[in-house]
Amino acid sequence: MDASTTARGLGRAAVVAIALALTVTGCSSGSSGSGGDVAKTVVPTQDAEDNNPQPLDKIKDGGELRLALQQWITQWNPYQVDGRYGDAVDIMGYVEAKIFRSDAKGVFHPVPEYLTSAELTSASPQVVTYKVNPKAKWSDGKPISYEDFKAVWQAANGKAPGYNIADPSGYEQISSVEKGADDQEVKVTFSSPYADWQNLFKPLVPASMLANADVFNNGSVEKVAVFGGPFKIGSMDKSAQTVTLVRNPDWWGTPAKLDKITFRVMDTPAITQAFLNNEVDEAPAGNATAYGQLKDAKDTVIRTGTPWDEVHISFGGNGAVADQTVRQAIGRAVDRDALIKVVNQGVPVEFKKLDNHLYMTNQAGYQNNSGDWAKYSPDVAKGLLDKAGWKEAAAGQPRTKDGQPLELHFVLSDGSTQAQLDMVSAIQNMLQQVGIKMDIDKVSSKEYFTKYINQGKFDLATWRNTGSFPLSNGVGNFRAPEGDNVFGNYSKLSTPEIDSLLKKAAGTLDRNEADKLYNEADAKIWELGHTIELYQRPSILAVRKGLANEGASSLADTDIAKVGWEK
C-alpha cells in the first residue's frame, strides 16, 4: 500500500494493470530539497517482503490503520475505465472478492475463503474450473456463484454496447462461462488460449454491480452497494475527503485484525508532515526531502521493496508529436541517466534504468530492447528533426516548419514533488538544446488524469504505471484504442504489428515462447516512440513501528485481514 501517485494495475489478467489509476509520477526527490546524495546501501529483493511478517497470535485484535489517498475516488467499479485508480483498486480488493493472491515471487494462489480449487481442466480448448467456497456470500445474502463470474465476463469482454470498460484482455478470449455440477462450480471455456487466467475476475464483484450498461457505468459512482470481503466501506465523506473501511460483519473467514482503516486525501508533499504529526501510519520516503525527514523520526521504520512500478515519459498523439520521427528525436535528446540522477539523490536505494516497457528489471524475461532509440545523442536528435522538416532557427529560438515554431507542452500536476519539477526542468533544457521549446503547464492534481491524461490532452507527461503484473496486465497500455475506449493507451499510439505480437504473447502458455513475443513487441514499442521508459521505482516507505504484515510492496498482494498492530 505504497501511497504514491500512480497509475496502477488492476490485476485481472487482462485488466491489465493498465495504468490504472493514475496519478502523478510520485517520483523521487528534489535535488534542491535536502542534503545531497546518500550511499545506495539498501538492496530490495524480489522474493522477500519487507512487511514485518507476524503470526496472528502476535497481533492485537482491533485498532486503526490510517493511510493517505492521492485523490478522491469517484468510480468504484474496477472494470469501468474510470475505476482503475490505484488506491481504488487496492480498496476494492479489501471489500470485494479477491479470489487469487500473488506471493513475493509473483506466483498466484487461490484464496481459500473464496475458492476451494481453481484448475486448468483442459488445454485444448482451454477450460478452467473454479470451485467456490460454499460459505462465500455477498453482503446482500446471495451466495457467490457462477452468475457473478458470468456477469463479469459479459460486461468486460467488450462485446456489449454501452459498457465503458477498462480493458477486455482475457475476457474477450472467453467463449463461455457456465454452471458446473452446481451453482458454486464454474466452467470457463476459452476460444483461444490465455496464459494469465489466474489474474481474471480479480476482484470478483457481484453481478448486481454489472447488471446493465447504466449500472455498470454509473451505479458505483461514489458508492459501493454490496460487499464480499473482510472489510466494507463504513463511510465516505467527500467534504472531509475521507473513506473509512470497517470490518464486514457478514465475513465468513477469520475476522480481520484491524477494526477500521481510514483513508484521507492529501497531496504527496503533505503526507510527510501528516506522518510526522502522527496523523497517518505510512508515508512515501522515495525522495530526498521525505527520506531525510522520515528516516530518523520517532517510532518509525523504513521498509523497501521492488514492485512492478515504472516511471516514464509519455507522448501525446497530436500536433508535432504525432510524427514518429519527432518522437524518436526526443528519445535521442533526453539523457535518461542524468534524469535518474536528479530524482535518485538523497535516498538509499538505487533507481535502476528501465530498458523495457513490459518487464521490470527483476523479472524473469527482462532484456534491454531500447536499442539506439533511447541512446542520448543531441546530434542524432537534430538530424531526425531536420528529417521531419523542422528547420533550425537562430540561437535560442525553436525550430520552425511551415512558419510554425516547434513548441510542446509538458502537462504536470501542481501536486508534483520537487524532484519531479527538477526532472521536468531538466527535460526542458535538454529539448531546448536541439531546438524544441517546451512549456511546462501545471494543472490541478485533482484534474490531472480526468481532464488531461485520460483525454490525451498533452504533448509530454510523466506518471507511473504500477502493478502491471503478470505480463498481460500491461498489454492495454499499448494496444490500439477501439472507438472512445483507449484502455490504458492514453497517447493512442499503436501499430497492428504491436497489437498482434502482444495478443499472441498473452495467448501463449509456454512461458519461454511468450517472453520472446513480449520482447519482440517491446522492441517495436521503442521504435514507435510510444514512451520513454526511465526507471523502475523501488518502494521506500516510512511505517509506524509495530505495524505487522504490511509495508513496502513487491510482487506480493497484501492480505489485509492479517494486517494489524503488534501486541
Q: Specify whether 214 is located in the same domain as 346.
A: no
ω into 203 cis (within 30 of 0)? yes
Query: Residue 146 in contact with residue 178, Cβ under 8 Å?
Result: yes
What mean pLDDT comes out for the span 450-473? Answer: 90
Long-range own/partner contacts, residues 241-247 (CB < 8 A, 24 or more apart) = 241/69, 241/72, 241/265, 241/266, 243/69, 243/73, 243/91, 245/91, 245/94, 245/95
Which span out of 42-46, 100-104, 199-203, 445-449 was modeled with the highest average pLDDT? 199-203
Provide the pLDDT for residue 105: 77
Comparing 4 with 343, the larger pLDDT belongs to 343
pTM for the structure as a whole:
0.77
Percent of the chain with pLDDT over 90: 75
Among 163, 186, 218, the domain-final residue is 218
Structurally, how many domains does the chain consist of? Answer: 2
Q: Specify whether 326 is located in the same domain as 448.
A: yes
Query: Residue 93 in contact with residue 228, Cβ under 8 Å?
Result: no
* CA 125 – CA 120 distance, rounded (Å): 10
* CA 229 – CA 139 distance, rounded (Å): 9
455 assigned to some structural domain: yes
Q: Specify whether 349 is located in the same domain as 477.
A: yes
497 falls in which pLDDT band (50, 70, 90)?
very high
* CA 65 – CA 564 distance, rounded (Å): 8
HEC profile for 267-314? CHHHHHHHHHCCCCCEEECCCHHHHHHHCCCCCEEEEEECCCEEEEEE
Q: Specify whether 214 is located in the same domain as 314.
A: no
182 assigned to some structural domain: yes
**Cell triple for 354:** 528501465
ω into 348 cis (within 30 of 0)? no
- Give the closest residue to 19 by CA, choosing from 357, 411, 356, 419: 357
What mean pLDDT comes out for the span 97-122? Answer: 93
Widest pairwise Cα distance in the chain: 77
Give the domain CATH number at 107.
Answer: 3.90.76.10
* CA 26 – CA 462 distance, rounded (Å): 9
Burial of 204 (0-12, 13-18, 19+ CB in 10 A): buried
22 assigned to some structural domain: no
Q: Specify whether 342 is located in the same domain as 451.
A: yes
340 assigned to some structural domain: yes
* CA 563 – CA 287 distance, rounded (Å): 26
Beta strands in 473-538, from DSSP E residues, in sequence order: 531-536
178 assigned to some structural domain: yes
Burial of 274 (0-12, 13-18, 19+ CB in 10 A): middle
Provide the pLDDT for residue 45: 61
Please name the residue that has the C-alpha cell 489474474.
199
134-140-142 Cα angle (round to 5): 35
Query: Residue 520 in contact with residue 24, Cβ under 8 Å?
Result: no
**Cell triple for 493:** 499510439
User: Does the pLDDT value for residue 20 go beyond 80?
Assistant: no
User: Does the pLDDT value for residue 301 go beyond 60?
Assistant: yes
| Average pLDDT value over all residues in the chain | 90
Give the domain CATH number at 358.
Answer: 3.10.105.10
Dihedral angle computed from the Cα positions of residues 353, 364, 12 and 558, in that order, rounded to the nearest 10 degrees: -80
User: Does the pLDDT value for residue 434 go beyond 60?
Assistant: yes
User: Does the pLDDT value for residue 83 go beyond 70?
Assistant: yes
294 assigned to some structural domain: no
* CA 533 – CA 374 distance, rounded (Å): 9
70 falls in which pLDDT band (50, 70, 90)?
confident
Range of the domain at 140: 101-218
Q: Specify whether 375 is located in the same domain as 508.
A: yes
Q: Specify whether 200 is located in the same domain as 323.
A: no
122 assigned to some structural domain: yes
Residue type, 244: T
212 assigned to some structural domain: yes
